[in-house]
Amino acid sequence: TPTLRLILGDQLSLANPVLASADAKRDWILLAEVAEEASYVPHNRHKIVLIFSAMRHFAAKLREQGFKVIYRSFDEAVPSLYAAVEEGLKESAAEAVLATAPGEHRLLVEMQSWESKFAVPVLIQEDDRFLASRDYFESWASGRKQFRMEYFYREMRRKYGLLLDKDGEPEGGKWNYDADNRGGWRGQVEVPDRPMVALDEITQDVIALVNQSFASNPGDLSQFRMAVTSEDAQAQFDWFCAHALENFGNYQDALAEESPWMFHGLISMYLNIGLLEPLPVCQQVESAWREGNCSLAAAEGFIRQVLGWREYVRGIYWHAMPEYAQRNTFDAKRKLPQWFWSGDTDMRCLSQALGQSLELGYAHHIQRLMVIGNFALLAGLDVAEVCEWYLAVYVDAFEWVELPNTLGMALHGDQGLMASKPYAASGKYIQRQGNHCKACRYDPKQTTGEGACPYNSLYWHFIDRHQDYLTKNARMGLIVGGWKKRDVADRKAIVDWGDQILATVLD
């Protein structure tokens, strides 16, 4: 039957299963820039430009390949994907709709209601661009009380034969070189300049459109530099393998004043919208190691993120949704301070992480987890509000990946389903990982008094107010035990100072 095949803005891959069975003469492909998807959160302008421009480039590629494409651009004011499909059915006279399952639960529920509204069958296929299917994850998860990435990751290494020796054992004798991925930043090596991607006419048009139509969203588009085609994304990735991968291992967890990018891959957004595929990037990094171009720790650290962590968080998302989004272990309800939307705080580490997130739509994982997320955890910021902030500001954020990372990993909102302990840390950690403290008006060595690093008192405030929960955790229990042995007056002074920080800094 003539079929209308829907491709969403984060499914821009020739490997998209709706294309596999398509007949170019008979079927129609539909892509639509629609208000509903563009505004369910105040997306960073970089994210909207990336998606719209990549959609337009992908539509052109499909046309070149002989497909009949229906494309709705944002100016045509189509309100929703539902409306776009309705129009597409009229225009094409197709007798069925085929879609690849979306990455977000809210949209899956919406799409599942379409069949009862349209007069034609609506089929939703599994998204097989992931390396662990939903069934595979479920069978791994069944019977486990806690999910630990490490065990899932080992199975995935075996399943895909990555970094294994002749006997099928992990290269180097260890599965995980995380201990070699934690170097702090003191400017030890030069950070290479990232090549800019040239902006073609399509992207320039989209930038003008987004600046005009999304004037109050975050994002400085004069700094837009992302690839919008799979060829350019591959070229960016090749650059990473040649110039940054070697140092990626050592400085994966480093925080630097002088660079928002450091040695990171900057490919999560390309993977998440379909411009790159996960298995080939892992294989390319493995080859780089086999050819002697990077250390095993660098290659393993990279592959762990893509093959392990990325697939694992997606598994958790579909396993635990929709109930997962409501979880809030510590009943954290404090309103997000206004400066989360401006970056205007005198905590240097935080202002840099927030500032670049808003301006560029990018921050690396330690900024997201240990600077912004850790602050939100310690201060007890509202879990749902923090999650929405992450979903809005990052170019690579779709709920399947954002929610477990924020709610579960950063905020420990899921009572430890995915992380063995809360990722709470004081200013000491941030000082060790980088050079922000030197440029900060606060002192990471002080806990109370004018000029004391707010992370310090907030850390103990967090330990103190959640001691009943935390003592049940083996690793946190030791910290709570140590805290309780301290002098009562000392403890009170620290908690009081924390209260004052919460009352002033968070205003």
Token duo for residue 103: 């990455």
Chosen residue from 270, 442, 462, 497 binding ligand SF4 by CB under 6 A: 442
Q: How far is the CB of 438 from ligand SF4 (least distance, A)?
A: 8
> Should residue 455 be labelled a site residue for ligand SF4 when binding is judged by CB under 6 A?
yes
At residue 468, the 3 state secondary structure works out as helix
- Cα within 13 Å of Cα(150), Cβ side: 8
**Binding partner of 347, given ligand DLZ, ligand SF4, none, CB within 5-8 angstroms per partner class:** ligand SF4
The Cα-based distances of 272 to 127, 129, 251, 430 in angstroms read 12, 10, 23, 29
Residue 33's binding partner out of ligand DLZ, ligand SF4, none, with CB under 5 to 8 Å set by partner kind? ligand DLZ
- Taking every pair of Cα atoms in the chain, the longest distance, rounded to a whole number of angstroms, is 79
Residues with Cβ < 8 Å from 348, sequence gap 6 or more?
436, 437, 439, 440, 441, 442
Q: Which residues bind ligand DLZ (CB under 6 A)?
A: 8-10, 32-34, 37-38, 43, 48, 51, 102-104, 107, 398
13 by DSSP, 3-state: which?
coil
> Minimal distance in Å, beta carbon 390 to ligand DLZ?
14
Strand, coil or helix: 418: coil
Cα 467 from Cα 64, distance rounded (Å)? 62
Nearest residue by C-beta to ligand DLZ? 9
Least distance (Å) between residue 17 CB and ligand DLZ: 15
User: Applying CB under 6 A, which part among 109-117, 199-207, 243-251, 429-437 lies near ligand SF4?
Assistant: 429-437
**Alpha helices (H) in 321-404, listed in sequence order:** 348-360, 365-366, 374-379, 383-393, 399-403
Question: By CB under 6 A, is residue 348 in contact with ligand SF4?
Answer: yes
Show the beta-strand stretches assigned E in 33-104.
68-72, 96-100
Q: Between 364 and 436, name the residue whose CB sits nearer to ligand SF4.
A: 436
C-alpha distance across the termini of the chain, in Å: 60
For the bound state, the minimum distance from the C-beta of residue 442 to ligand SF4, rounded and expressed in Å, comes to 4
- Name the binder of 458 from ligand SF4, ligand DLZ, none, CB < 5-8 A by kind: none
Establish if 498 lies at the interface with ligand SF4 (CB under 6 A): no
Sign for the CA dihedral angle at 5, 9, 14, 16 comes to negative
Q: Which does 102 bind (CB under 5 to 8 A by kind): ligand DLZ, ligand SF4, none?
A: ligand DLZ
Closer residue to ligand DLZ in complex, CB, 405/435:
405
| CA-CA-CA-CA torsion sign (83, 84, 88, 91) | positive
Give the span between the Cα atoms of 133 and 369, in whole angstroms. 26
Q: Residue 43 binds which one of ligand DLZ, ligand SF4, none, with CB within 5 to 8 A depending on kind?
A: ligand DLZ
> Which one of residues 353, 437, 463, 479 is an interface residue with ligand SF4 (CB under 6 A)?
437
State the binding partner of 348 from ligand SF4, ligand DLZ, none, CB within 5 to 8 A by kind.
ligand SF4
- 15: how many CB neighbours lie within 10 A of its CB? 11
Instruction: Tell which one of 427, 433, 457, 466 touches ligand SF4 (CB under 6 A).
Output: 427
Q: Which is nearer to ligand DLZ, 52 or 442 (CB)?
A: 52
Minimum distance, C-beta of residue 322 to ligand DLZ, in the bound complex (Å):
14
Rounded to whole angstroms, the Cα distance separating 252 from 494 reads 32
3-6: strand order across its sheet: 68-72, 28-32, 3-6, 96-100, 122-125
**Shortest gap between Cβ of 262 and ligand SF4 (angstroms)?**
17
CB of 424 to ligand DLZ, least distance (A): 30
Least separation in angstroms between CB 426 and ligand SF4: 8
| Virtual torsion, Cα 193, 197, 198, 203, nearest 10 deg | -140
- Rank residues 270 and 459 by Cβ distance to ligand SF4 and give the closer one: 459
Q: Which is nearer to ligand DLZ, 253 or 396 (CB)?
A: 396
- Taking the least distance from each CB to ligand DLZ, the nearer of 38 and 267 is 38
Give the residue, chosen from 288, 347, 424, 506, that forms a contact with ligand SF4 under the rule CB under 6 A. 347
- What does the binding site for ligand SF4 look like in residue numbers (CB under 6 A)? 347-349, 427, 430-431, 436-437, 440, 442, 444, 453-455
